Amino acid sequence: MNNIFYIKILFLIFLTSMTFESFSKHIVGGEATYKLVSSDGVLDGFATYDFKFIIYRDAESGGADFDATGFFGVFLKNNLKWQFVRRIERPVENKNYIQNVDDPCVITPSNILYEKGEYNFRLTLKIIDAPYQITYQRCCRTNFIINILSPEATGATYYVEISPEAQLAKNTSPVFKSFPPAVLCANNFFNIDHSATDIDGDSLVYEFFNPLAGGGLNGSEVGQPQGSQYLCDGVQPLPDNCAPPFPLVVFKPPYSFTDPLQGNPLIRINALTGIISGQPQNLGQFVVGVMVKEYRKGVLIGTIQRDFQFNVTACTPAVSARVGNSTQLDLKLFRIFACGADTVLFINNSYDKAKILSVKWVFDVKGQKITSEEWDGLIPFPEPGNYTGKLILNEKLACSDSADIQVNIYPGIHASFDFSLDSCRQQPVNFINSSYSEAGPLKSVLWDFDDGTNSSDLNPQHSFEDPGQYDIKLIVEDENKCKDEQVSTIRYFPVPDNIEVAPSKYIGCAPVTIAFSNNTPFIDGTYSVKWDFGDGTSSTEMEPVHLYNVPGQYDIKVNIKSPTGCEITGDYSDWLLIKEGPEADFKIIPEDVTILNPVINIENNSTGGDYHFWEFGTGDISYEFEPGYTYADTGIYRILYIITSQNKCTDTLIKNVDISPDVILFYPNAFTPNGDGKNDEFFGKGAFIRYMVDFKLTVWDRWGGMVFETEDPLNYWNGRKFNSGDVLPQGVYVFNYAYRTPRGKYITDRGFITLIK
């Protein structure tokens, strides 16, 4: 065949986390063969051959591509020394990605990709009594090989040798028949046919050989001398520089070329059949060399070599029998026990379901074979006892698997209980256990009361802290570890013996708003509540708020009803005494107050009060009925008024007064910008100008042209256009101004100014 199967890289992290130089870390194997094309020139002392070099690279790791042009050396052995004859340069061709040929019964990594490239050329060689060797060298191998030293800096040499015997015998080299498998599974025995075919019918003998190194990392990095990659320790050695013999790959003990994988049993190759067999145990990538020796009439006339990698991984079977509702006793042994069952459902957790084409459950039931071909097997059993069975997947198919099943059928166990309670009273609930086992006494009892508590008593008594609906679970177990459970629902909504509300007593002054609190224990939002406030109004809120406007003595009534219809009513006579209270009211005169006249007077419109208290927001107070007050500065002040009646009822009222900084602004009607220091500028005058915001002043000539503009109320116009150049002509000018007062009032106006020179 013309291809070699390339082993998938084992670890996905190797594929995703590493970066590689453009010249190295990509070689995963190769081989070389030759074919006699014409022997017509043998009598003339010449023969023509087609040579094929197949190189394999890792196409997923980001390593180098194939050499666009490969350099091949032709060497002749002369006086025990190899002599360089010529260099052949050929382009890579027939590039193909190697498809993963996975074992259908094993789940292997799926994102591995290898590529095959060929270099083909024809040579006519003179038939001589000396061997020819055709070579190709390239660095480097993949990084994660574990059985050789420094794989990331170790290259490979692939060659084919034509002996004098092969030349005279008109020989064509053998060709390997098939590829190795994608993955070897650790701790699994394997047999690989690694044999070759020979069109001449020669005898073939197989053995492991020590693969050859070749090249190095010289020239792989930026900054190294130009041409260094072509030296013998470079990534792409030229055959002109590097003649045989070539160095051997150095194996890392305990590995060797005759024992390249280790294993138990050890990995061996059959010399006559080419079958490689054994059971690998160590995970990783391994370099393996296989040599085929070619004999004709008992004489060795040539060899070919294949240098390749094996990957050993922990494989997952593609089809695996698994019983779900069971205890796994061993890799392929499951145990199920059932209690009081006349049929048992066997849950099929086998995988991969897409690759499972048939299912068969087989059980021996009292000497009778009972089967089912459903995915989940439902098997009848006549009585308690011990039974055996098997789950068979893909029976008589290549990817099959099975599991043994032990079935223990025990007598039945039955959980049952009842309870008693007074549905309207807050009392403990009595639970009565009526469970039993057909095998004898109960071994354990467990109650779950659905409130975070449990009990192991046979017949417990339980008090619930809160009303609600509870799912009570009873789990019982017997000596055979058979279990059963019962769940029953209790609606527990009693009403309390007493209703507790707040305030317990209240004396207040009308108008008054009272927030009622319902402190009755053991009720929640599922209970309905009705309040009667004693003034003809009511509420269904749990904790209502109510306004009493009219003085008087009031009775309160509260009714509580549970979701199950239990009721309790609380009557509270003369619960509230609402006294008549004063009503505070006053007016500030004047309503608009400025700092120019910061005096206010109070007009008191209150009713029902006898005592008066005022605080003006400055710390000053008064007890007068209608006080006056003078403010010293601008600002917004809070006036607090508290009125008190003889029955000690009070009312409070707060109002704000704004002492605003009243702005006064005026402009003159003429100015004389002649530089005499008198009336030379035009600007606004007045009071509190600094408090203005959004100020703008513009001045215009008689033709409508702007001559001055400012947003600063303290800025002035000097009679020049925008305050620059010569003084403008004498005459009347128009000015506009606008601003906002400190309280946001917008003011705008215009006027005339006469410029006099």
Q: Is 639 helix (H, G, I), strand (E, B) or coil?
A: strand
Whether 184 and 125 map to the same domain: the answer is: yes
Indicate the pTM of the whole model: 0.50
Read off the pLDDT band of 691 (50, 70, 90).
Answer: confident
Q: What are phi and psi of 343, to 5 degrees?
A: -140, 150
Whether 602 and 748 map to the same domain: the answer is: no
Give the Cα separation of 513 and 547 in Å (integer). Answer: 4
Q: What are phi and psi of 318, to 5 degrees?
A: -70, -30
Does any domain span residue 719?
A: yes
Between the alpha carbon of residue 570 and those of residues 275, 533, 566, 637, 708, the distances in Å are: 98, 12, 14, 49, 84
Q: How many CA atoms lie within 13 A of 494 on its CB side?
A: 18
Q: Is pLDDT at 542 greater than 90 in this prediction?
A: yes
Greater confidence, 295 or 504? 295
Take residue 155 and report the two structure tokens written for it. Answer: 């290259």
Give me the amino acid identity at 525: G
Are 55 and 61 within 8 A, CB to CB? no
Give the Cα separation of 190 and 185 in Å (integer). Answer: 8
**Total number of residues shown for the chain:** 757
Last-in-domain residue among 365, 380, 410: 410
From the list 377, 345, 373, the residue with the least C-alpha distance to 360 is 373
Are 728 and 701 within 8 A, CB to CB? yes
Q: Is pLDDT at 373 greater than 70 in this prediction?
A: yes
- Give one DSSP letter per residue of 390-442, joined into a string: EEEESTTSSS-EEEEEEEEEE--EE--EEEE--TTS--PEEEEE--EETTBSE
Does any domain span residue 253?
A: yes
Q: Is pLDDT at 495 greater than 70 in this prediction?
A: yes
Whether 253 and 110 map to the same domain: the answer is: yes
Whether 24 and 86 map to the same domain: the answer is: yes
Take residue 341 and report the two structure tokens written for it. Answer: 């069952």
Whether 119 and 208 map to the same domain: the answer is: yes
Whether 163 and 112 map to the same domain: the answer is: yes
Whether 478 and 510 map to the same domain: the answer is: no
Please tell me the predicted confidence (pLDDT) of residue 687: 79
Q: Is pLDDT at 638 greater than 90 in this prediction?
A: yes
Greater confidence, 662 or 577? 577
From the list 62, 200, 190, 213, the residue with the least C-alpha distance to 135 is 213
Are 186 and 281 within 8 A, CB to CB? yes
Take residue 208 and report the two structure tokens written for it. Answer: 């492991």
What is the DSSP-derived secondary structure letter of residue 677?
A: S
Q: Is 146 helix (H, G, I), strand (E, B) or coil?
A: coil
Does any domain span residue 4?
A: no
**How do 343-346 and 377-380 pair as beta strands?**
antiparallel
Does any domain span residue 1?
A: no
Last-in-domain residue among 253, 284, 313: 313
Take residue 521 and report the two structure tokens written for it. Answer: 């224990």
Q: How many CA atoms lie within 13 A of 529 on its CB side?
A: 24
Q: Is pLDDT at 289 greater than 90 in this prediction?
A: yes
**How do 664-666 and 731-740 pair as beta strands?**
unpaired
Does any domain span residue 702?
A: yes
Read off the pLDDT band of 18 (50, 70, 90).
Answer: very low
Q: What are phi and psi of 17, to 5 degrees?
A: -105, -10
Mean pLDDT of 79-108: 82
Q: Is pLDDT at 11 greater than 50 in this prediction?
A: no
Q: Is 647 helix (H, G, I), strand (E, B) or coil?
A: coil
Please tell me the predicted confidence (pLDDT) of residue 109: 64
Between the alpha carbon of residue 532 and those of residues 340, 544, 546, the distances in Å are: 61, 11, 11
From the list 50, 9, 49, 11, the residue with the least C-alpha distance to 29 is 9
- Does residue 140 have a cis bond before it (omega within 30 degrees)? yes
- Greatest Cα-to-Cα distance within the chain, rounded to the nearest angstrom: 149
- Give one DSSP letter per residue of 539-567, joined into a string: E-SSS-EEEE-S-EEEEEEEEEE-TTS-E
Paired residues of 117 in beta bridges: 55
Q: Is pLDDT at 151 greater than 60 in this prediction?
A: yes
Please tell me the predicted confidence (pLDDT) of residue 40: 62
Residue whose tokens read 């417990």: 460
pLDDT tens, 324-334?
989 999 989 99
Give the Cα separation of 197 and 322 in Å (integer). Answer: 44
Whether 596 and 546 map to the same domain: the answer is: no
Q: Is pLDDT at 202 greater than 90 in this prediction?
A: yes
Beta-carbon count within 10 A of 491 CB: 13
Does any domain span residue 751?
A: yes
Q: Please count the structural domains in the chain.
A: 6
Please tell me the predicted confidence (pLDDT) of residue 399: 83
Give the Cα separation of 294 and 300 in Å (integer). Answer: 6
Burial per residue of 638-660, b for 16 or more beta-carbon CB atoms within 10 angstroms, e otherwise: ebebbbbbeeebebeeeeebebb
Take residue 605 and report the two structure tokens written for it. Answer: 């419109």
Whether 170 and 242 map to the same domain: the answer is: yes
Last-in-domain residue among 296, 313, 330: 313
Q: Tabulate helix, strand, coil % of the chain (nearest 5).
A: 5, 50, 45
Range of the domain at 418: 413-492
Burial of 713 from C-beta contacts in 10 A (0-12 / 13-18 / 19+)? buried
Chain centroid to Cα 407, Å, comes to 42
Q: What percent of the chain has pLDDT over 90?
A: 72
Paired residues of 510 in beta bridges: 580
Please tell me the predicted confidence (pLDDT) of residue 522: 84
Please tell me the predicted confidence (pLDDT) of residue 494: 93
Take residue 62 and report the two structure tokens written for it. Answer: 């980001």
pLDDT tens, 558-574?
999 999 999 999 999 99
Average pLDDT, the chain: 90
pLDDT tens, 721-757?
999 999 999 999 999 999 998 888 899 999 999 999 8
Does any domain span residue 2?
A: no
pLDDT tens, 239-269?
999 999 999 999 999 999 999 999 888 999 9
Whether 553 and 687 map to the same domain: the answer is: no
Does any domain span residue 127?
A: yes
Whether 576 and 591 map to the same domain: the answer is: no
Read off the pLDDT band of 4 (50, 70, 90).
Answer: very low
Chain centroid to Cα 634, Å, comes to 62
Q: Is pLDDT at 296 greater than 70 in this prediction?
A: yes
CATH code of residue 511: 2.60.40.10
Q: Is pLDDT at 316 greater than 80 in this prediction?
A: no
Please tell me the predicted confidence (pLDDT) of residue 5: 26
Greater confidence, 9 or 158? 158
Whether 141 and 266 map to the same domain: the answer is: yes
Q: What are phi and psi of 694, to 5 degrees?
A: 55, 40
Read off the pLDDT band of 223 (50, 70, 90).
Answer: confident
